[in-house]
Structure 1
Amino acid sequence: MKANALISALLLSILTIGTASAFQKKTPVNQEEIIYHIFQRSFYDSNGDLHGDLNGIRQKLDYLQKLGVTAVLLTPLYESVFYHNYFSSDFKKIDPRYGTLADYLALVKDLHRRGMKFYMDMETQYVTEDHIWWTDGINNPASKYSDYIIYDDKEHTKPTSIVFGVNGLLGYDSVYRKITTVNLNSPKVLDYNYGLFKYWIDPNGDGKFDDGVDGFRLDHMMDDLDGKHLMPHLFDTFWNPLINKLRVVNPTIKIIAEQAQWLSLGLDYLDHGGVDRVFAFRLAYSIRAFSKKMLTDNADSTFLATPANKQQIVFIENHDTPRFSFGVNGDVDKLKIGAALNLLLGGVPSIYYGQELGMTGNSATFGPTDANELPDREAFEWYKTDQGKGMAYWYKQKGPHKDTFNSDRPNDGVSLEEEQNDQNSLWNFYRHMIAIRKANPVISTGTYKTLANDNEHVFSFMRYDGNKQFIVAVNLSDKPVTANIIRGLGNKLKIVYGNVMPVTNGSSLAVSLPAWSVAVWAD
């Protein structure tokens, strides 16, 4: 839901921090998940209305398993007038464009039958003027929902603003809706959220969880919502009480926070917010920058500061950011470096739908509207002609922006049809990196260590556990280079990827790397 201005400001404000030598090294939790993050309205349309839907995802589970992913994260499913579904009109209803409750339950059960996990995106901090908390409570202090939202006056005529002081938003289709902030200080709201989240954990209440979520992504989670000081200490008064009660229902549930301050490591969320995982934004920015210094500083700090029983979600793009391919002008070699770092650094990797194809798109400047991120959320490109069954071109149906952008081009080499039979394609590279990840559990179980080397363009690191080691070297330049990598372990290495065999010289490895290349070794 982030505004385009915030994204631009964050991208311009990329910071690095010093080395993390003061942090104690800690071994991450064993985790072999590869998450596939879907903006479902744009994925696959099963019924011909041009909107991606739940049955469309279900029909493409074979595709996801062929790619190698093991978990699915969807953007919100609940009813909303906005296409992204973040500002809800009814949290208990699934957007009918996505399907029915029966469709939802069939998808979740099918995922679980396949050994895959399902994560639901939730943001219950805001509602639109269509929500019953608003319609019944406005101008009515006696309403049973009188303290469910925050008002700026005692007469309840002025629902308060949301982030950035916004009181409403123009949709991509020119439909305007007022939006307000939910009162997370209210015990009734806490109870409501418990009931809502609990339902999605175990919809039929039988305690088996085959029809329930495996976890939640908490969008725009904050301790002091939007920095207004209206609801301070929410970690203590709202989030921890809610999360602790949910863990009584299912102790294995995973809670993922999107930290509101993207440049933060999210350690306060992990230490005090009750969550299991946060998003590694600093790493995402570092990978996008192709900077050895940024990668070194932020990989060290991110992984070594993260508590041993908590995790970072490692990603290079999501529904709120420009596509990675846009930043590298579609350069396949650079796209492959992004893929390798996304999947081999450690943590829990997340792939945004279409990232594996090299889909492009950059946030637009249409003004004060939710249309600005449409180019980052275009239809998944199934076919080389960009036409065919299931294409989710919902955004081309109506609205003033329907003809103002179009990143997909016929026969441009960016589509599943064009890439799946090309062994050198980005799509097949993703499959290869995922297979390497699964074959080397030390990537997730081992300790992270940046490996020093003598070349300013080579980023090298390892994951190790005892004598077990997994080493990666990346040439971040457009020229062939040589480097001596200091590693400190004496085991004999084998080539995992890259056809580059290092020459052992005492405690260092002498390597020659082609331009924009990745090499991987293991013992």
Structure 2
Amino acid sequence: MKKISYLLLIVLLVLSGCKPKAQEDFKKYNPQNDVYYEIFVRSFADSDGDGIGDLNGVTENLDYLDDLGVSGIWLMPINKTNSYHGYDILDYYDINPDYGTMNDFETLVKEADKRDIKIMIDLVINHTSDRHPWYLEASKGVTNPYRDYYVFNNGAAYSSFVGGMVDLNLGNDKVKEEIKDIFDFYLDKGVKGFRLDAAKHFFDNPGELTPTIKNTAFMLEMNSYIKEKAPDTFMVAEVFEYAYQFNLDYYLGADSILDFSIAQIIQNRIGGGTSAYMLTSSLDKIFDAYRGIDPEFVASPFITNHDLDRIANMPGFSGPNGLIKMKQAASVLLTLPGSPFIYYGDELGMKGARYEGTNIPGYGVVYDEYRRSPFLWGEAAKNTTWLPSDGSNDEVEALKDQKEDENSLYNHYKTLINLRQKTPALAFGNYFEVWNDTSGFIQGYVRYYEKDNYKQAVLVVHNLGVNDTTIDIDAKKVLFGSLTLRANETGIYELKDLDGAIDVSR
């Protein structure tokens, strides 16, 4: 259904004589290519002074995100819940009261749309809270009509995750209809994307022999359903696996997969320096594999997210070279095919790592909380205070200060995001080929976009070594950096054509 709708759109536009004339025209042909910004609402911005981030806080700071250049927002769970993190849903049709009301959510969607910013929500359908009304009914006995809404084994509900979360029976047609109703509800609100949490666990119940096949088939059914109503909707699945081969089948079901394999490559090759000479070849192998499943694949690369320690805590990204390496990691992320995802605060170099049950005075026992620390606005009226500082961000400059520093990490992100958004070869399509002169610590790749009478080729070169190097090309235009790259610097160049840059015979 996805490919048929996409091809039909192109045919209709061509027959009507509509050809792309500007960046917004290209978007019609590439509706799922965006730059997403992941937000943990509790930590982002407080609008009412209670110390907890809320939806109105996001709405009031949409201009910040618009200026940064992002065109999509992924909201971590916003539904009524028992927990701080929100992944144990109590009611799919209600908003977490800490975050506001459904009216507040509707306002956010409308205000974001005015800025051409899409809203993606975290849809948690692998499981619910064990206090969800469905489960309270199911637990009354084997004859209860809701019993088969969940997976029971020897009388006990199966849980992929601890903490009062019980797995839904996604093979039950009644459950599928409930989920389709949830999709309809949020599509009607103007939501343009869904991040499916824990997709590899959908059929992860005892005795299941073919979970991947069933996971993919389920996502394909759901994706086909929502595409009938909203063809441009973006469904991205969380498949927490570092081996890219594990993603291949899932590309048959979802539009995209949040790519832990690419995250690991960026973390290791840039930060750790491990096999730096394999940066582009490793990426090329992944994209080639995805292309073999779907020539029109849309990748979803990222560096870190809420389930990982912050990039600033990872080996190689701290110390005297930490800032320039974080900049280079961003340069890689924001020049890759697809829809890159940025974790809130990574543009500031925020720190945050997992604790293993440490007791924090004034809060209590913590685990993942500090991976999701309050955003550093540098403005007391916006700052959230729900989580006491652990001191890890005491030396990190707040946004207010980084805006004034042209060499800050924030301004690097802003420059690269906005460059990507106005450069079709970077923003659209999934073309990625290794540059012919890639060797050792000089790692390069070509991004290319062609539509009707428009063509653009862009060369991206990363110097992962410690010595300066001069890039010997006859560039049409230097888009970023210069032809002389110092250690951990990136150059982006518009080419006159593809001749000599790649092996065009492949």
Q: Shorter-chain TM-score category?
A: 0.7 to 0.9
One-letter amino acid of the structure 2 residue matched with residue 445 of structure 1: G
One-letter amino acid of the structure 2 residue matched with residue 217 of structure 1: R
Match of 2:222 among 239, 242, 247: 242
One-letter amino acid of the structure 1 residue matched with residue 284 of structure 2: D
Cα distance in 1 for partners of 2:65, 2:144 equals: 47
Shift in alpha-carbon separation, 1:464–1:243, aligned structure 2, 3 A: closer
Q: Would you identify which runs of 4 or more consecutive aligned residues in structure 1 move more than 6 Å?
A: 367-370
Does the 8 Å CA contact 1:471/1:522 hold for their aligned counterparts? yes
Shift of 1:344: 1.0
Cα distance in 1 for partners of 2:96, 2:32 equals: 32
Does the 8 Å CA contact 1:342/1:349 hold for their aligned counterparts? yes
Does the 8 Å CA contact 1:223/1:234 hold for their aligned counterparts? no
Which residue does 1:160 correspond to in 2?
158
Which residue does 1:418 correspond to in 2?
401
Shift in alpha-carbon separation, 1:57–1:224, aligned structure 2, 3 A: closer
Match of 1:337 among 323, 328, 339: 328
Which residue does 1:468 correspond to in 2?
456
Cα distance in 2 for partners of 1:395, 1:447 equals: 43
Which residue does 2:417 correspond to in 1?
434
Match of 1:360 among 311, 336, 351: 351
Cα distance in 1 for partners of 2:51, 2:75 equals: 18
Shift of 1:259: 1.4
What does 1:376-415 correspond to in 2, within 5 Å? 376-383=371-378, 388-396=380-388, 405-409=390-394, 412-415=395-398
1:71 aligns with 2:81: no
Shift in alpha-carbon separation, 1:242–1:346, aligned structure 2, 3 A: closer
Q: Which one scores higher on RCO, CA 8 angstroms, separation ≥ 6?
A: 1
| TM-score, L = length of structure 2 | 0.82
Match of 1:522 among 494, 498, 504: 494
Does the 8 Å CA contact 1:480/1:514 hold for their aligned counterparts? yes
Shift in alpha-carbon separation, 1:280–1:483, aligned structure 2, 3 A: farther
Match of 1:499 among 482, 490, 504: 482
Does the 8 Å CA contact 1:35/1:348 hold for their aligned counterparts? yes
Cα distance in 2 for partners of 1:521, 1:336 equals: 18
1:50 aligns with 2:71: no
One-letter amino acid of the structure 2 residue matched with residue 151 of structure 1: F
Cα distance in 2 for partners of 1:122, 1:142 equals: 29
Shift in alpha-carbon separation, 1:321–1:353, aligned structure 2, 3 A: same
Which residue does 2:17 correspond to in 1?
none
Does the 8 Å CA contact 2:277/2:441 hold for their aligned counterparts? no
Does the 8 Å CA contact 2:424/2:449 hold for their aligned counterparts? no
Shift of 1:380: 0.3
Which residue does 1:218 correspond to in 2?
196
Does the 8 Å CA contact 1:30/1:445 hold for their aligned counterparts? no
1:185 aligns with 2:171: yes
One-letter amino acid of the structure 2 residue matched with residue 360 of structure 1: K
Cα distance in 2 for partners of 1:88, 1:475 equals: 46
Shift of 1:227: 6.1
Cα distance in 2 for partners of 1:97, 1:257 equals: 26
Shift of 1:483: 6.6
Does the 8 Å CA contact 1:317/1:324 hold for their aligned counterparts? yes
Which residue does 1:92 correspond to in 2?
93
Shift in alpha-carbon separation, 1:305–1:55, aligned structure 2, 3 A: same
| TM-score, L = length of structure 1 | 0.79
Partner of 2:152, secondary structure, is coil
Shift in alpha-carbon separation, 1:260–1:413, aligned structure 2, 3 A: closer
Shift in alpha-carbon separation, 1:252–1:370, aligned structure 2, 3 A: farther
Partner of 1:447, secondary structure, is coil
1:375 aligns with 2:386: no
Which residue does 1:194 correspond to in 2?
180
1:308 aligns with 2:295: yes
Partner of 1:296, secondary structure, is helix
Cα distance in 2 for partners of 1:354, 1:196 equals: 30
Does the 8 Å CA contact 1:35/1:73 hold for their aligned counterparts? yes
Partner of 1:115, secondary structure, is coil
User: Which range moves more in the overlay, 325-334 or 420-429?
Assistant: 325-334
**Sequence identity, in percent?**
29
Partner of 2:157, secondary structure, is coil
Match of 1:276 among 245, 255, 275: 255
Cα distance in 2 for partners of 1:247, 1:455 equals: 43
Partner of 1:375, secondary structure, is helix
Render the CA deviation track for 1:415-471: whole Å, top value 9, x for unaligned: 111100111111111111112112211122362111143642121111124663211
One-letter amino acid of the structure 2 residue matched with residue 295 of structure 1: L
One-letter amino acid of the structure 2 residue matched with residue 407 of structure 1: S
One-letter amino acid of the structure 2 residue matched with residue 441 of structure 1: P
1:108 aligns with 2:109: yes
Structure 2 gaps of 5+ residues are 1-28, 496-506
Cα distance in 2 for partners of 1:228, 1:483 equals: 58
Render the CA deviation track for 1:343-401: whole Å, top value 9, x for unaligned: 01222111111111111112222279993221211000001xxx6112112123xxxxx
Shift in alpha-carbon separation, 1:65–1:370, aligned structure 2, 3 A: farther
Render the CA deviation track for 1:274-318: whole Å, top value 9, x for unaligned: x11112222211111124344223310222222222211121111
Aligned length: 443
Partner of 1:92, secondary structure, is strand
One-letter amino acid of the structure 2 residue matched with residue 515 of structure 1: A
Partner of 1:417, secondary structure, is helix
Does the 8 Å CA contact 1:453/1:484 hold for their aligned counterparts? no
Q: Which has the higher helix share?
A: 2
Cα distance in 2 for partners of 1:298, 1:213 equals: 34
Which residue does 1:21 correspond to in 2?
none
Cα distance in 1 for partners of 2:167, 2:181 equals: 20
